[in-house]
Amino acid sequence: MNIFYWQILDYFFVIFHTFLILFNLTGWIWKPTRRLHLLSLLLTGGSWLLLGLFYGLGYCPLTDWHFSVLINLGEYDLPYSYIQYLIERLSGYNFSAQFIDNATLIGYLIALALSLYFNFFSLRKKNSKK
């Protein structure tokens, strides 16, 4: 494949994966996106855990595909964490892998708790007032 196509794929993954990460962190905020947000979080968690049984804990196919594109562009020594890669690529800062992994897990769990609350518990509270 022509290097131009690999570069297009690289930009696609940076944009798409960044928006997916931001949606996973904030999708609970807007009422119309709450169900899709919960589905996205469940798919993400399922990938990390279930696919992680076969490919390593925290496995994400998007990361795998993007890193394959980057290798075809000549990049090597990529970190295990896509979040770590993304932060370094977009900001130039290099945080420790442990810090990034902890922050990622905490962000995910907070978003999941908020999504579950707004998708299920706030409805019960609303329905019990009627």
> DSSP letter string over 17-39?
HHHHHHHHHHTTSSGGGHHHHHH
User: Which tokens is 89 given?
Assistant: 């690529």
Q: 48, 39 in Cβ contact below 8 A?
A: no
111-67-50 Cα angle (round to 5): 50
pLDDT at 1: 74
Give dist(CA 111, CA 32) in Å, integer.
Answer: 16
Give dist(CA 76, CA 98) in Å, integer.
Answer: 20
**pLDDT for residue 123 is more than 90:** no
**pLDDT for residue 98 is more than 60:** yes
pLDDT grade, residue 67 (50/70/90)? very high
* Average pLDDT over the chain, rounded to an integer: 93
pLDDT at 61: 97
Tell me the average pLDDT across 50-70: 96
